[in-house]
Amino acid sequence: MKTKLIVSLTLLSLVIAACGGQATQTTPEPAVPTEAQSQPTESPTSTAVPPTEAVATEASAPATEASTPGVSFASDVMPILAGSCNDCHGGRQTRAGLDVTTYEGLMAGSINGAVVVPGNSSESVLIQQVVEGEMPKRGDKLTSEQIQIINDWVAAGALNN
């Protein structure tokens, strides 16, 4: 038993020495900054924002958004869908199982899944399809203003308002 302990301690000492450490425990001395270290350095690429300012900025952002009138599904988005999408995705036809004649139908999605991801326009198939010009397949493509309205509505949470 004593031999195993001596061998173990010897191996441990060798491993510590190989790693550049010391086998004895020492207390680190407090670091004393040199003159070069004590001067504050400013990185040209970094912009430090004190945490309290960052919190204040984040907290004020929702208040600004809340005070700005948002996009309305009923008065802004629905007229675009009715004018450009209903021929294939409403009324008698609901291609791919997508019915855009109601909020509920739009949010139910198609046979392929959700077409609107509330709060995430980049993941919303509806936005992807109109931006890429894939939809509507018939008739005029949506204008950049119409796409922006739908994008803003989705980004704001795709509310039934």
Q: Confirm if 130 and 150 have CB atoms less than 8 A apart.
A: yes
Q: Confirm if 103 and 160 have CB atoms less than 8 A apart.
A: yes
pLDDT in tens, 123-156: 999 999 999 999 999 889 999 999 999 999 999 9
The pLDDT score that the predictor gives to residue 65 is 41
The pLDDT score that the predictor gives to residue 69 is 67
| φ/ψ of residue 94, rounded to 5 | -135, 75
Measured between alpha carbons, how far is 128 from 6 in angstroms, rounded to an integer?
69
The pLDDT score that the predictor gives to residue 68 is 44
The pLDDT score that the predictor gives to residue 29 is 54
106 or 51: which carries more pLDDT confidence? 106
The pLDDT score that the predictor gives to residue 12 is 44
Q: Residue 99 above 70 pLDDT?
A: yes
The pLDDT score that the predictor gives to residue 55 is 37
Amino acid at 92: R
* Residue 91's pLDDT band (cuts 50, 70, 90): confident
Contacts of 59 (CB under 8 A, 6+ apart): none
Question: How many residues are there in the chain?
Answer: 161
The pLDDT score that the predictor gives to residue 33 is 52
Lowest mean per-residue pLDDT among 7-11, 50-54, 70-74, 121-125: 50-54
pLDDT in tens, 21-67: 444 445 555 555 555 444 554 444 444 444 444 333 333 333 334 43
Q: Residue 3 above 50 pLDDT?
A: yes
Determine the average pLDDT of the residues in 11-27.
48
